[in-house]
Chain A
């Protein structure tokens, strides 16, 4: 089976000069966790994930201390917000390099890409490299699992 059978086609994306603040509001409005960033030719140049945005709010210490069990209250950190200056920077300053899959790619290949790169969504591109959809772990996973019922029936 191919990725195109289970991907979402009405994909929400943003141009690379969108500000960080606008990208965040786009995620809120559409209730999504990933925004492919595209150039003038509709080709993906990066990806902004919810994680990239929320890292701006997360405290520095989570990178430095392995086991946070003893911290029961994050205190002042709970109410910190990224500054106005940061929010008006373009998303290109925080976006991650794009890891995309071709629409005719295999499902297991897609899933393996996600696991190896610790991703939950992949932008899908066509032969000419243009963004045509987005596929999530759940999209791929449920499609794969649905095949299992035929195994049981045999």
Chain B
């Protein structure tokens, strides 16, 4: 290995370690790590500013930014609260139904919109519904985070790793619907069933006051129905375009940005407020990671890695893929799944250059990154959010509690995904 490779690997590993330690905000680490990588790159002559800019995948950033604008228009309308109240009423206060309804609503929205925003909006209403009913909100909050993370793996725009993988591997929205969705659906149902069993005691307590939930009025929770309808129409059209993006030969990023522009023209929001709600910290984190991993690439780290992997003579690609699911899931449980995905992409691409069929490996990465985050309380942003919100209640979610529910769900969904992966291997390899 060259000095450049060793030093760039050190920068990457230190950044990853700092993200894991949570001593600093991950965006600061991504940002400073990128600067450091370009700095050493210039010093040792393996990485330039223009290479760093080129390493940023604007396809991913564009898709994220476009969807974030749509969400930031939808956020203040009360649409999310409306859905949560509606779901709560429909359950008629029966705990198991409530779990299924809230879990499903959160999952379906987060298959198309940012699941952090979805959870941020729906979790407070969940606490409200549970308190009005006189039951413990903890199982419902945990279920919302776990189910929405699991469901997010189903679509191209469901969670950030998918956007990254779709962009790098050229997988379309339709590819995800045909190949990922069925496996995710079965895994999701497994997760739901497991949660039902794990929380059987909490879910068997009869709510003290069922009538009160029927007096919650979803229409009143919707503050601005006109704007909500407009944004949803634009979103619906955008999703249609996502379906056919392959035939239309337009990129998902262009569709998302175009939808954001159309929605802003139609809604005429306060531009400053709308743009303030965009999660810039996420976008900068992504850009920083792209620059860091671009540095690894320029230093030839991935070439060394791929040569080592090629020397292994992978004779059992199926077993290798399933191993990849578990390795990525394990890593995603302890570190953010975004840096893991960004770092895995060049490795898989490198394996492709050795002549291996890497199509199934992309799907392994999707499932590993998607389901791994469930394992720990810090595994995904949604988990952190419900844990933080629950700290404001009388029944906070602890790390110990999470390992009793999240970890089994992660193991179960990864097992189911592995089995289905093996069964559908030839289909996934196409």
Residues in chain A within 8 A of chain B (CB atoms): 59-61, 63-65, 67, 69-77, 79-80
Contacts and interface: CB of A to CB of B under 8 A. Distances in A.
B133 A60 contact: no
- CB-based closest 3 A-B pairs: A75-B212, A76-B134, A70-B220
A75 B135 CA distance: 11
20 contacts: A59-B132, A60-B131, A60-B393, A61-B127, A61-B131, A63-B392, A64-B127, A64-B392, A65-B124, A65-B128, A67-B78, A69-B220, A70-B217, A71-B132, A73-B132, A73-B209, A74-B132, A74-B212, A76-B207, A77-B132
A76 to B, nearest CB: 3
Contacts of A67: 78, 223
Given A60-B392, A67-B223, A70-B218, A75 B127 contact: no
A24 to B, nearest CB: 19
B211 interface: yes
A147 B33 CA distance: 66
B55 to A, nearest CB: 40
B216 interface: yes
Nearest to A83: B394
Nearest to A62: B128
Interface string B322-351: 000000000000000000000000000000
Contacts of A73: 132, 209, 211-212, 215-216
Given A59-B132, A73-B215, 13 more contacts: A60-B131, A61-B131, A64-B128, A65-B81, A65-B124, A70-B220, A71-B132, A71-B216, A73-B211, A74-B132, A75-B213, A77-B131, A77-B134
Nearest to A68: B128
A71 B128 contact: yes
Contacts of A65: 81, 124-125, 128
A75 B212 CA distance: 5
Nearest to B393: A60
Contacts of A64: 124, 127-128, 389, 392
A71 B207 CA distance: 17
Contacts of B221: 70
Contact of B131 (A59, A69, A70, A72): A59
Interface in B200-220: 207-209, 211-213, 215-220
A70 B392 contact: no
A75 B124 contact: no
B41 to A, nearest CB: 46
Contacts of B256: none
A70 B134 contact: no
A75 B133 CA distance: 6
Interface in B213-250: 213, 215-221, 223
Given A70-B85, A75-B211, A76-B134, A61 B216 contact: no
A127 B223 CA distance: 53
Nearest to A75: B212
Nearest to A69: B220
Q: Among B128, B134, B215, B219, which residue has the most Cβ atoms of chain A within 10 A?
A: B128
A71 B128 CA distance: 9
B125 A75 contact: no
B131 A76 contact: yes
Contacts of B209: 73, 75-76
A67 B125 CA distance: 11
A63 B390 CA distance: 12
Contacts of B135: 76
A132 B217 CA distance: 50
Nearest to B210: A75
A72 B219 CA distance: 13
Interface in B102-127: 124-125, 127
Given A64-B124, A64-B128, A72 B389 contact: no
A67 B218 CA distance: 13
A76 B133 contact: yes
B212 to A, nearest CB: 3
B121 to A, nearest CB: 10
Interface in B257-286: none
